Amino acid sequence: MDDFDLSRLLDKPRLNIERQRSFDERSLSELSIGLTRGGLDYCEITYSPGGRSGLDTPVSSARNSFEPHPMVADAWEALRRSIVYFRGQPVGTIAAIDHASEEVLNYDQVFVRDFVPSALAFLMNGEPEIVKNFLLKTLHLQGWEKRIDRFKLGEGVMPASFKVLHDPVRKTDTLMADFGESAIGRVAPVDSGFWWIILLRAYTKSTGDLSLAETPECQKGMRLILTLCLSEGFDTFPTLLCADGCSMIDRRMSLYSMLYTYIACYSGQYLEKCALSMLKHDTEGKECIERIVKRLHALSYHIRSYFWLDFQQLNDIYRYKTEEYSHTAVNKFNVIPDSIPDWVFDFMPTRGGYFIGNISPARMDFRWFALGNCVAILSSLATPEQSMAIMDLIESRWEELVGEMPLKIAYPAIESHDWRIVTGCDPKNTRWSYHNGGSWPVLLWLLTAACIKTGRPQIARRAIDLAETRLLKDSWPEYYDGKLGKFIGKQARKYQTWSIAGYLVAKMMLEDPSHLGMISLEEDKQMKPVIKRSSSWTC
């Protein structure tokens, strides 16, 4: 029997995190042997407790059991240097400590989204305290009245970032939050609340400590975030109006529409499932839960059916009739085949597929977004077949999507006239740079998680190997430029914390795949996906 049920592996609570497990590649290969031999219903992983104190730099991150990769120690040091303290307590990590860069801008702040890989690294290393402090501090900030210009923002909005101001004379620390009112371009963050809930679940899963999520404050915080996302509007789709530039891609890239776009949409699903597992069934919680369940069904159907693109689907669109009217219309969005860009025909392999960037009347945004597709796998928004197809696509379009530095945030880049119109001539988003086809090492952890979930760790291994040839030598850049991601990004910060933490999380997950349980969600039990073993599962 070839089926491999990850859920039994992932459902294990990780209670004893003080004694971190040292799950090295030997153990991983044991797992693969178990799988490739077949005959196993699921794979039991045996842990060898390392007996390490949670505060040490782990020695388990290794090329093999005995030899730690030299980069790991450097990465831990750099990550620890980025820790921000509030009244003596660690509360987050600064976005980048690039002393060479002239302009600090807001890189000296703790960004909610940037802290996620840091938090996961600390959790995996048995250091939950900083994560708990972060969750509580940001929850407190959610309670502030927020204004951008003269507009009042919704109650549940979480800040994009915050900063701790130390007054050495008065010996006081004060928190300053940014909800978009001082951000470049005044973009409010849509994704901060999502990440907050995802992190709360990761913390709960990792520590087994339910008490934090159960506090009335956390329950209220979750409900407020969800109220923002579940609000009903004028649109007919299970979506949320989400402006361009409100997510990790916080610049104009034509990602707005009436839909949740890549992160909003895909992680919306993720977030709602996370919340579902943590909300209490009291009167207020129940109402929220009912709305989530309804939304989840509609959202999954919508995305799985209309956002999915593979060879067959492309061929169908290519042959679409247009101007159809009535319920029987096949071409529901009236997509005109001539609007399919040429690159898609070359890019689409016969095996493989992905969720496109967006769909709206007469317009499909065919671009590939790495974050959205990885999150779709982790949240089980993608069916098991779709998850496999996404991995097939990454493998067969390796040069385009990974090149020399994992991982391209979007593919392809928008060039010349289109670039002018779409980005407003943004000099950061020139072709194959920054959000416009740049390569972001932080995405390595998401790729690794998706690889493990789909039973294809060898893809992650290959990507990590590539990152290891450059990241430390180049001082952990924020992003790389070029069609192959060969050049350090033109305005990339060095010592970008999420590049550092993303690498560490990827390493730790590959060493101990059970960490995946913190961030991966399984499909409803009734529709539990059975993950097919990849024929190439070896590292």
Contacts (CB under 6 A) with ligand GLC, residues 89-108: 95
Give the contact letters, 46-65, x = binds to ligand GLC (CB under 6 A), - = no: --------------------
Total interface residues for ligand GLC by CB under 6 A: 6
Backbone angles phi, psi at 521, to 5 degrees: -120, 140
Rounded to 5 degrees, φ, ψ at 514 are -70, -15
Task: Give which of 395, 510, 488 is closest to 444, Cα–Cα.
Answer: 510
> 183 vs 508, which CB is nearer to ligand GLC?
183
**Nearest CB to ligand GLC, comparing residues 114 and 426:** 114
Per CB under 6 A, 248 contacts ligand GLC: yes
What minimum distance in Å lies between the beta carbon of 266 and ligand GLC? 16
Smallest gap, in angstroms, from Cβ of residue 247 to ligand GLC?
8
Nearest-CB residue to ligand GLC?
95
Q: Is 163 in the site for ligand GLC (CB under 6 A)?
A: no
Radius of gyration in angstroms for the set of CA atoms belonging to the chain, rounded to a whole number: 22
178 touches ligand GLC by CB under 6 A: no
* Antiparallel, parallel or unpaired: β 172-178 and 308-310: unpaired
Q: Prior bond to 443 cis, omega within 30?
A: no
Decide if residue 195 touches ligand GLC (CB under 6 A).
no
**Assigned token pair, 352:** 């493989």
260 Rama sector, left if φ>0, alpha if ψ -120 to 50, beta otherwise: beta
Does residue 113 bind ligand GLC (CB under 6 A)?
Answer: yes
H/E run at residue 531: strand 531-532
Residues within window 428-447 making contact with ligand GLC, judged by CB under 6 A: none
Structure tokens belonging to residue 389:
């197809």
For residue 410, give the nearest of 253, 221, 232 by alpha carbon: 253
- Please state the closest distance from residue 479 (CB atom) to ligand GLC, in A: 9
What is the phi/psi pair of residue 131, to 5°? -70, -40
Contacts of 118 (CB under 8 A, 6+ apart): 79, 82, 92, 93, 497, 498, 501
Cβ nearer to ligand GLC, comparing 95 with 177: 95
Closer of 126 and 502 to ligand GLC (Cβ): 502
Residue closer to ligand GLC by CB (options 111, 122) is 111
Minimum separation from the CB atom of position 99 to ligand GLC (A) = 16
| Strand ranges (E), 160-233 | 161-167, 172-178
Q: Nearest distance from residue 111's CB to ligand GLC, in Å?
A: 4
Strands, E assignment, 261-371: 308-310, 353-360, 363-369
Q: Which is nearer to ligand GLC, 240 or 248 (CB)?
A: 248
Stretch near ligand GLC under the rule CB under 6 A, chosen from 73-81, 109-117, 194-202, 526-534: 109-117
For residue 172, the Cα-to-chain-centroid distance in whole angstroms is 35
Residue with Cβ nearer ligand GLC (250 or 522):
250
Q: Which helix (H) or strand (E) holds 480?
A: strand 480-481
Using the CB atoms, write b or e for 211-220: b if 16+ within 10 Å.
Answer: ebbeeeebbb
Which DSSP letter does residue 473 get?
T
Of 250, 392, 400, 512, the residue at the interface with ligand GLC (CB under 6 A) is: 250
Stretch touching ligand GLC by CB under 6 A, among 29-37, 111-119, 323-331, 506-514: 111-119
Give yes or no for a contact between 501 and 93, defined as CB atoms under 8 angstroms apart. Answer: yes
* Binding pattern for the stretch 375-414 against ligand GLC, x by CB under 6 A and - elsewhere: ----------------------------------------
* Nearer residue to ligand GLC within complex by CB, 189 or 352: 189
**CB of 263 or CB of 394, closer to ligand GLC:** 263
Nearer to ligand GLC, 367 or 515 (CB): 367
Single residue of 24, 98, 114, 512 touching ligand GLC by CB under 6 A: 114
Q: How far is the CB of 96 from ligand GLC (least distance, A)?
A: 6
Q: How many CB atoms lie within 10 A of CB 281?
A: 8
- Residue 300 vs 475, nearer CB to ligand GLC: 475
Span between the terminal Cα atoms of the chain, in Å: 21
Query: Which residue among 4, 76, 86, 111 contacts ligand GLC (CB under 6 A)?
Result: 111
Tell me phi and psi for residue 527, to 5 degrees.
Answer: -110, 35
> Counting beta carbons within 10 angstroms of the beta carbon of residue 19, is it exposed (0 to 12), middle (13 to 18) or buried (19 or more)?
middle
**Choice between 40 and 104, CB closer to ligand GLC:** 104
Min dist. Cβ of residue 467 to ligand GLC (A): 18
**Exposure of 298 in the CB half-sphere (CA atoms within 13 A):** 12
Question: What is the CB neighbour count within 10 angstroms for residue 120?
Answer: 27
Q: Write the DSSP symbol of residue 157.
A: P
Write each residue from 14 to 33 as x if it is in contact with ligand GLC (CB under 6 A), else as -, in one continuous string.
--------------------
Which residues contact ligand GLC by CB under 6 A? 95, 111, 113-114, 248, 250
